[in-house]
Amino acid sequence: SPKAATPEARPVEAVRTSVTAAVPVEVGRVTHHFGQLGVGVIAVESAEISLGDTLHFRGHTTDFFQRVERMELDHQPVEHVGGGQQVAIQVSQRVREGDRVYRVSR
């Protein structure tokens, strides 16, 4: 019956949406880490980064996820940045030069 098919279709659609949203997009690389400030500088190469995005920092000894709560461009707070810019992002863990940065959710 049509009523039985509808509830099954909704969870499948929800699963597709969440899987699609979790596909990582490489946005750039870490160029510097300011340990005392808890800040990593990212050279944004392609996609953009916005406040609220979840980033995945991945390197030889680095592997953690971080929600973007604050970022600055030229010492001024910004809400989003695009390719070709270097942005400072507050990070909860140490990042290292050359670590790759992926956006995993918006």
**pTM score of the predicted model:** 0.77
> Does residue 17 carry a pLDDT above 70?
no
pLDDT at 19: 44
The pLDDT, as a whole number, for residue 14 is: 47
d(CA 100, CA 30): 6
Give the pLDDT confidence score for residue 46 in this predicted structure.
Answer: 84
Per residue in 53-81, pLDDT (tens digit) is: 999 999 999 999 999 999 999 999 999 99
d(CA 19, CA 57): 20
pLDDT tens column, 21-58? 568 999 999 999 999 999 999 999 988 999 999 999 99
CA distances from 21 to 17, 88, 93 (A): 6, 24, 24
Question: Tokens 């160029």 belong to which residue?
Answer: 31
